[in-house]
A and B are shown apart, each in its own frame.
Chain A
Amino acid sequence: MKLRVLAFVNHIPIKYDPEPAINQAMEWGIDYVIAQGTGKDWGPHWLGSGRQFPVTNFIENVRPYMRVCHELKIPFILSAGIAGARPQLSECLAGFSKVCREQGYRFDVGVIAGDIDRDYLKQRIKAGTSIPRMDDHPALPAELRLEDVDVSTYIVAQMGPEPIMAALDEGVDGVITGRALDTGLYMAAGRRSGVSWATSALFGKMLECAGVALYPGDPSLPVYGEVHDDESIVLRSPSTRAQPTVQSTAGHSLYERMNPFREENTNGYLDLDEVHWEDIGDGAVRVTGARYVETPYTVKLEGAAPIGYRSINLSAVREPRYLEHLPETAERIKQEVRNASRFSALVEGVDYHLNVTLFGRDAVLGDAEPCRGSEHEVGVLLDVVAPTEEIARDICYFASISLQIGAYPGRRTSAGNVAQRFTQMTNPVGQAYRWTAWHLLPLEDPLEPFERFRAQFPYEEGTQPW
């Protein structure tokens, strides 16, 4: 046996008592505990703002699994902080320290930031390095430009396995990273255990989302994976609530991917064309047949920049006559805002955006919605993005009053047209952001741009040892 890993996802709240599953995995034997906690699914706001999901979520998800590392004296590899930039990583490290303090654990931790220094990046661009977009989309410049770097509040990159391996090779008890390639966490363990690139990458692919690969799929559940001497992978569920099946594990290779046969990594791609999944009984699935094609080394850059402040208003319309006239009402409200003298210096679509979303009427599928016109009430979301919070709130207020007391044909509701959900008619929800970078940065040295340091946990409260 080359490698045994207990995998979970550290941003998914634990629903069930994790102890029975953890004890089962400890009985099987564990070499590494690995959990990803970064991702870009929730949009550019998190990276751009530096904000974090409640850190308590990270703390309580990680806590039970750290007992394994403490008792078995085995290493952990965690990526942390959703967007995984410096502020989120710092918050998670403070949370990790809290866990250690409260549980009485002591860990020597290798910490690796995912942030890419702005000046470093600009030097690379000035030196003529081509940094092409990773996905073909008109919202992205074909090549990363100096101005994209300048406007971004944070820029991170998905580090590969090498910085993690370098930290572990220094003899730390575990590693916590900022933004990282999910599968790279597992590839680091695989490569350190003498597993091929191909099998390490497939192993990471199978384990990265933990219980999503089980049936029934549940990312709050852990998964247990083995790499045998013949490089076959065996997946098991330490929890009795779900099991790996051929369909659940094979199907997981589709998850969140554009192309199920090709998984891009830093130094190549995993080719899943000939991967074979097999039920070997006892609730276990064996996976074999990974191939790996090496390509020049790149890391994916991610950057976000603010587009303005957002303010929203939510109300509902039940009055049938108003429902009938809602489509032109949205246009009327926009028109009234455009014509208001206090907004005359602002151009809609340039300086500000006012969007009227009618929930209950094609809001989710838009033009692709085939079912129309059967609703008896509609939720109206006024969504304003403007240069300052004050302007955003003012436009939102203006529009909500226009919705509330504006005229429509046959109107009898002269005391008010809608049911307001919140007493705060204008609800500021922070800044809105756009992606500035989703580009591939070539690296000669996979460690180069990632700041790495070593810290003892728990650290003294009120201090920050990095």
Chain B
Amino acid sequence: MVTTIDDVASVLRSKNAGPFFFTIDVFLPDKKLFDTVAHVLTPERVAQAYRVPTSEVQGIYQLQAALAIKVTIRKQILADDPGNTDVIASQQHLPLAWIPLPD
């Protein structure tokens, strides 16, 4: 079984960061897993998981005090627009959740 971010995160959530971006917060239970996940989460890897160009990944931030990593991505379809299916972007953490971790 491949271990993924989903298997190790204690909190894994996504939400709008304003109407034009959404942001994913990953909280890890310890420093070792924090370092492992932080190493895996590059703009290129995130862009690949979300099938967007790397330029759509606005930033990846590490907050050591909370053992948390934040990933912010530009929204492709806005709330109210035709075709939108996630107004506050609450289900957009999953492509990141399924990124595998090294053995």
Give the interface of A toward B (CB within 8 A): 40-45, 134-135, 137, 139-140, 246-247, 250-251, 253-261, 275-277, 307, 353-355, 357, 363-370, 383, 385, 432-435, 438
CA distance A432 to B85 in the complex (A): 14
CA distance A275 to B66 in the complex (A): 11
Return the 5 tightest CB-CB contacts between A and B, nearest first: A43-B79, A353-B82, A250-B66, A137-B20, A251-B66
Smallest Cβ distance from A440 to chain B, in angstroms? Answer: 13
Across the interface, which residues of B come within 8 angstroms of A277, CB to CB? 65-66
Q: Is the CB–CB distance between B16 and A251 below 8 Å?
A: no
Is B83 at the interface (CB under 8 A from chain A)? yes
Q: Is the CB–CB distance between B79 and A44 below 8 Å?
A: yes
Q: Is the CB–CB distance between B23 and A43 below 8 Å?
A: no
Q: Is the CB–CB distance between B19 and A246 below 8 Å?
A: no
Across the interface, which residues of B come within 8 angstroms of A135, CB to CB? 18-21
**27 pairs, CB–CB < 8 Å, chain A vs chain B:** A41-B16, A42-B79, A42-B87, A43-B80, A44-B78, A44-B80, A134-B18, A135-B19, A137-B74, A140-B20, A246-B66, A247-B27, A250-B68, A251-B27, A254-B25, A254-B61, A259-B70, A277-B66, A355-B82, A365-B95, A368-B50, A368-B51, A433-B80, A434-B78, A434-B80, A434-B81, A438-B20
Across the interface, which residues of B come within 8 angstroms of A370, CB to CB? 95, 98
Q: Is the CB–CB distance between B17 and A256 below 8 Å?
A: yes
In the complex, the chain A residue whose C-beta lies closest to that of B85 is A363
Q: Is the CB–CB distance between A257 and B17 below 8 Å?
A: yes
* Given A247-B66, A256-B15, A370-B95, CB of A357 within 8 Å of CB of B20: no
Q: Is the CB–CB distance between A41 and B61 below 8 Å?
A: no
Q: Could you list 8 further interchain pairs (A-B, Cβ under 8 angstroms) beyond the known A41-B88, A43-B79, A259-B61?
A: A41-B87, A250-B63, A251-B25, A254-B66, A256-B17, A261-B61, A276-B65, A368-B50
Smallest Cβ distance from A138 to chain B, in angstroms? Answer: 9
Across the interface, which residues of A come within 8 angstroms of B15, CB to CB? 41, 255-256
Across the interface, which residues of B come within 8 angstroms of A434, CB to CB? 78, 80-81
CA distance A132 to B12 in the complex (A): 33
In the complex, the chain A residue whose C-beta lies closest to that of B63 is A260
Q: Is the CB–CB distance between A260 and B94 below 8 Å?
A: no
Q: Is the CB–CB distance between B51 and A258 below 8 Å?
A: no
Q: Is the CB–CB distance between A251 and B68 below 8 Å?
A: yes
Smallest Cβ distance from A254 to chain B, in angstroms? Answer: 5
Q: Is the CB–CB distance between B80 and A45 below 8 Å?
A: yes
Partner of B95, one of A257, A354, A368: A368
Smallest Cβ distance from B24 to chain A, in angstroms? Answer: 10
Across the interface, which residues of B come within 8 angstroms of A364, CB to CB? 85-86, 91
Q: Is the CB–CB distance between A246 and B65 below 8 Å?
A: yes
Q: Which of the listed residues A40, A135, A254, A355 has the most CB atoms from chain B within 10 Å of its own CB?
A: A254
Is B59 at the interface (CB under 8 A from chain A)? yes
CA distance A402 to B19 in the complex (A): 34
Smallest Cβ distance from A151 to chain B, in angstroms? Answer: 15
Is B58 at the interface (CB under 8 A from chain A)? yes
B residues 28-68 in Cβ contact with A at 8 Å: 49-51, 58-59, 61, 63, 65-68
Partner of B19, one of A247, A276, A432, A435: A435
Partner of B91, one of A354, A365, A438: A365
Across the interface, which residues of B come within 8 angstroms of A140, CB to CB? 20
In the complex, the chain B residue whose C-beta lies closest to that of A250 is B66
CA distance A383 to B80 in the complex (A): 11
Across the interface, which residues of A come within 8 angstroms of B49, CB to CB? 368
Q: Is the CB–CB distance between A355 and B16 below 8 Å?
A: no
In the complex, the chain B residue whose C-beta lies closest to that of A48 is B80
Q: Which of the listed residues A40, A257, A438 has the most CB atoms from chain B within 10 Å of its own CB?
A: A257
Q: Is the CB–CB distance between B19 and A383 below 8 Å?
A: no
Q: Is the CB–CB distance between A139 and B78 below 8 Å?
A: yes
CA distance A276 to B66 in the complex (A): 10
* Given A139-B20, A255-B15, A364-B86, CB of A247 within 8 Å of CB of B80: no
CA distance A139 to B21 in the complex (A): 12
